[in-house]
């Protein structure tokens, strides 16, 4: 049986209390949300925090609402709440697509949006979906609050720009007219991490893609993003030729590695195929909104 090293346990009741506990205990303290990533790492001794600060009691961090033209998702929102939300389904079907294929109901009932983003696993599905939708995250620390694009939040595998005494409190997704979005993932068996995955958001006006977001998971794309593929599509009619061209570029934007989930070339092929499928479905959803 794997057992974590010993640690102190604190329970925070507010964001302010969490920040002051993090400041008091220093860099060896970690917050625990759903615990689905942190606790297994502690059991394997890959993480050995001296103090765990439990943020599950912070009711002010669990919400889904529209404010200032944005969908705002509190960090402690569980995967299952996102999946069950009509508000999310109406505005960002990409998140429903992604949540349907994240793990299983046990993980989704407990795992959180904030924990998923802060874990920064390179195969994390929500990171790719949030990059596609041009989301930002709100980070709060002793120095104040800052808003960072999700496309700049992850700096590498398991690394983010969040400081040791900062917490992620909210994800913000701009709600804009003409939008459609979709997520496509290939996994070896239901509930597994992605072999490769692609998310797309398009904003159409008279059939032209005025803006585009493409996120990639599990394939070594810098910041989970296919930036060049987005640029190739922006300002063009979203037709089959444009989609195929952007999808091929996305394949070149990916840097997958060969591992137990498959060879790199297979994953690169998947990126091209999944990006094309996500763009097509995102386009169809945008047109359905317009009609
Ligand atoms: C069997 C299994 C299968 C899975 N499959 C998938 C999958 O297919 N796709 C996928 O995307 N994910 C998958 N996951 C991950 C799942 O989505 C987890 O919920 C997620 O990784 C972590 O969320 P959590 O709330 O449990 O975070 P925790 O484990 O509590 O925390 C993770 C890290 O984030 C930090 N943290 C947590 N919340 C905050 C915050 N608000 N501010 C700052 N730091 C914070 C913690 O200190 C810790 O370092 C899987 C997990 C398991 C166990």
pLDDT digits (tens, 9 = 90+) for 102-133: 999 999 999 999 999 999 999 999 999 999 99
| Mean pLDDT score of the chain | 96
Ligand 1 mean position to 154 CA, how many Å? Answer: 14
Beta strand 167-174 with 159-160 is unpaired
Q: Does domain 179-290 have CATH number 3.30.390.50?
A: yes
Distance CA 14, CA 16 (A): 5
What number is the average pLDDT over the span 211-226?
97
What percent of the chain lies above the pLDDT cut of 70? Answer: 99
User: Taking Cα atoms as reference points, which of 262, 131, 113, 141 lies closest to residue 195?
Assistant: 262
Q: Is residue 291's pLDDT more than 90?
A: no
Q: What is the pLDDT of residues 37-59, one digit of tens each?
A: 999 999 999 999 999 999 999 99
CATH 3.30.43.10 in the chain is located at: 8-54
* pLDDT given for residue 1 in this prediction: 63
How is residue 11 written in tokens? 């329970």
Ligand 1 mean position to 210 CA, how many Å? Answer: 34
Distance CA 17, CA 198 (A): 38
Identify the CATH assignment for 62-174 out of 3.30.465.10, 3.90.1150.10, 3.40.50.300, 3.90.660.10.
3.30.465.10
What percent of the chain lies above the pLDDT cut of 90? Answer: 96
* Residue corresponding to tokens 């860099």: 27
Architecture of domain 8-54: 2-Layer Sandwich (3.30)
User: Taking Cα atoms as reference points, which of 149, 150, 154, 185 lies closest to residue 275?
Assistant: 185
Mutate to test the pocket of ligand 1, among 115, 165, 192 (most ligand atoms within 8 A of CB): 115
Ligand 1 mean position to 60 CA, how many Å? Answer: 19
């Amino acid at each position: 049986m794997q057992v974590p090293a010993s640690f102190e346990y604190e329970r925070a009741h507010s964001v302010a209390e969490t920040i002051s506990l993090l400041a008091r205990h220093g860099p060896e303290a970690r917050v625990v949300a759903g615990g689905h990533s942190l606790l297994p790492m502690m059991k394997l001794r890959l993480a050995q925090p001296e103090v765990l600060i439990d943020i599950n009691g912070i009711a002010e961090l669990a919400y889904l609402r529209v404010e200032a033209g944005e969908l705002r998702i509190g960090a402690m929102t569980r995967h299952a709440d996102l999946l069950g939300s009509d508000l999310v389904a109406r505005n960002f079907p990409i998140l429903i697509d992604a949540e349907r294929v994240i793990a299983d109901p046990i993980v989704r009932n407990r795992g959180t949006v904030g924990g998923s983003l802060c874990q920064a696993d390179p195969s994390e599905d929500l990171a790719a979906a949030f990059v596609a939708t041009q989301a930002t995250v709100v980070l709060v620390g002793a120095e104040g609050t800052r808003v960072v694009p999700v496309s700049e939040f992850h700096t590498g595998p398991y690394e983010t720009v969040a400081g040791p005494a900062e917490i992620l409190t909210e994800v913000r997704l701009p709600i804009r007219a003409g939008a459609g979005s979709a997520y496509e993932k290939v996994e070896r068996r239901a509930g597994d991490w992605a072999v490769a995955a692609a998310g797309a958001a398009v904003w159409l006006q008279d059939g032209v893609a005025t803006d585009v977001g493409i996120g990639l998971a599990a394939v070594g794309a810098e910041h989970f993003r296919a930036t060049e593929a987005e640029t190739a599509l922006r300002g063009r009619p979203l037709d089959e030729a444009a989609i195929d061209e952007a999808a091929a570029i996305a394949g070149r934007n990916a840097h997958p590695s060969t591992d137990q989930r498959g060879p790199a070339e297979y994953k690169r092929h998947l990126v091209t195929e999944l990006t094309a499928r996500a763009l097509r479905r995102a386009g169809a959803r945008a047109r359905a909104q317009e009609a």
